[in-house]
Structure 1
Amino acid sequence: MGDPKRTKKKYFTPRHPWIRENIESERELVREYAFKRKKEIYKLNSILKTFKDQAKKLIAAKTKQAEKEKQQLIQRLQRLGLIPAGAALDDILGLTTQNIMDRRLQNLVFKKGFARTQAQARQFIVHQQIVINNTKITSPNYLVTQAEEGTIAFSPQSKLANPDHPERSLPEQKEKLPVRPAPPEAKKEAKKKPKKEAKEAKKEEKVEEAKEEQ
């Protein structure tokens, strides 16, 4: 028997995790994209870092192999919808983590109106209610290509495929009734009420004092 294989982390954690700016930005991303744990953010940051590191190396390289790898990298990011057609390696360096997050399956399910919130979109995916090309995808962080984006749908076996399902319908907005001004008589009565209540309270106090004296 050989030594057991040691698995390496597929993502990088912050070197200084207790910086206030980083904590606040991560907190906003968790709220906006409904992440369950910050590890998901670190994984997406690592994916973006890998793309940028490859772009930096290929910009400096001048070999034929580098040109081939350059085209492969650009085509890959174009398929993911991260850069437009005709983009260069410099455009890759301008990508942000939010560009990656916008291509997640969970975000696209929400943006296409299949779910009311990001959290509900995550629930539908984890519970095997969403398919891409008739294949169930259970990872909310799955990066969707442009070719796959049009095939996102509910599973045919799912009850949620019915557009009238209550989980898909948006909550009805209650109509706000116009506030009518109170008539002047009602205003006078409202002013008199506190005075009447004060007089009655004084009478009750006097009655109680008389009883105690007896």
Structure 2
Amino acid sequence: MMAGADKNEVIRLSGIGKSYYIGKEEVPVLTHIDLSIREGEFVSIMGPSGAGKSTLMNILGCLDRPTRGSYLLDGKEVANLNDSELAYTRNRKIGFVFQSFNLLPRLSALDNVILPMIYGSLFKKERKERAVKMLESVGLGDRINHMPAEMSGGQRQRVAIARALINDPAIIMADEPTGNLDSHSTREVMEIFSKLYEQGKTIILVTHEIDVAAYAGRHVILSDGHISKDIRGPLP
């Protein structure tokens, strides 16, 4: 862990920038991001469309590499990880929840949740038992054999959360997880995130909805590719 870092710090971004190129023209998306997140924090990332929220989430989740800057995850420089180490990190340390659920339509709820365990060391019976318990924990014990098309948006998102949790990651990253949900399903999903936070999970949530962000205890506001505000406590 870097000198001077908090021993409970799980994420530290220093001078992170991300640019894309159109021909020879550089188009910056993130300009200079300095951000530290401690173990067990519930952080929302907010900002207008085009502010760089999803780009930042992709970098945090090791789905994309920054153009410049340093990203320490559990004290290790992500830039030094090879592709297989990045894949292991994504599978074991981080659970992802996306707005579009990203479930495989031809697999049941149970098989979607089992999927991240396929390359692990558990036997088939153990994987199934673990997946059933995880689906039960999100209130879907009676839907384990349903296909995604047979479930509501809220149920599909709960399957996605169960899948994200199946390898017991320390960090949950959610990108607009309630964007396709009605108000009732939004409350159900956010209550699950609140319980995970109470259990000690680190949660990073991208959202443009103030009522959803209110579940978090800290709010990082992006504007034009940089952090304009970092608010601890309730949103003003």
- With structure 2 as the length reference, what TM-score do the two structures score? 0.24
Looking at both structures, which has the greater relative contact order when contacts are Cα pairs under 8 Å and sequence separation is at least 6?
Answer: 2
Q: Larger % of strand: which?
A: 2
Give the alignment's TM-score, normalised by structure 1.
Answer: 0.26
